[in-house]
Chains A and B, each alone.
Chain A
Amino acid sequence: DAEITQSPRHKITETGRQVTLACHQTWNHNNMFWYRQDLGHGLRLIHYSYGVQDTNKGEVSDGYSVSRSNTEDLPLTLESAASSQTSVYFCASSGTGTGGTEAFFGQGTRLTVV
């Protein structure tokens, strides 16, 4: 069965370190998204991609970067982790030109920056 997986599920890191969160999907979806979830804020879009070599900034992109070298993966990098980036991170994917179809989410990564 097709799926979307994130790793790790939990991570603790120190302020200032570079951190990369992995997202891998086997749906063959062109669209991939990274969100962060914080209490009182719902899910906010960090970065997204419509296909290989395409990346775009979302509403809370400062301090984050992504790259898309293939269809399956969209890793999220925190260049220099800050305590404000402690959050739960979700990756999602969806098909192209099918706005009404379901977006599939990974299980989430809980990141703690100490």
Chain B
Amino acid sequence: AQTVTQSQPEMSVQEAETVTLSCTYDTSESDYYLFWYKQPPSRQMILVIRQEAYKQQNATENRFSVNFQKAAKSFSLKISDSQLGDAAMYFCAVRGGSEKLVFGKGTKLTVNP
């Protein structure tokens, strides 16, 4: 079974600053994928960034980047130059050969002006 742990129920950051959201996971599979999803108040689930476990290079999407530590099973999300629109729930998820997404409990990010 796969599990995902997000140890920070809530985080806050000042506008224009950088924040890092933590995620650890457990899986017995060798081929898997990791994701960060954003859920704003509209409830829509929005893919922020994905990482293939077989790739050593950390994924980057504009202001969003990950720190993928495979041996430690850690997959943190860094948001640079935080904007008010980044305020949302963020979910870390893992997906293996079964195609099922397994989610963490989420981190609520507040961005202060």
Contacts and interface: CB of A to CB of B under 8 A. Distances in A.
B91 A43 contact: yes
Q: Is the interface on chain B under 10, 10 to 19, 20 to 34, or 35 or more residues? A: 20 to 34
Given A40-B105, A100-B50, A90 B45 contact: yes
Interface string A77-114: 00000000000101010101001101101011000000
Interface stretch (B14-22, B64-72, B76-84, B94-102): B94-102
Nearest to B4: A42
Interface string A30-63: 0101010000111111001010000000100000
Contact of B33 (A33, A35, A96, A100): A100
Nearest to A38: B105
A58 B100 contact: yes
Interface residues of A, number: 24
Contacts of A48: 100
A42 B50 contact: no
A19 B100 CA distance: 25
B52 interface: yes
A40 to B, nearest CB: 6
Given A40-B105, A99-B32, A100-B52, A107 B99 contact: no
B11 interface: no
B42 to A, nearest CB: 8
Contact of B96 (A42, A96, A99): A99
Nearest to B51: A100
B44 interface: yes
Top 8 A-B residue pairs of the complex, sorted by shortest distance between their CB atoms: A105-B45, A42-B105, A43-B103, A42-B103, A100-B33, A108-B43, A102-B47, A31-B99
Interface of B: 4, 6, 31-33, 43-45, 47, 50, 52, 91, 95-97, 99-106
21 contacts: A33-B100, A41-B105, A42-B6, A42-B103, A42-B104, A44-B103, A45-B102, A48-B100, A50-B99, A90-B45, A92-B45, A96-B99, A99-B31, A99-B33, A100-B33, A100-B50, A100-B52, A100-B95, A102-B50, A108-B43, A108-B44
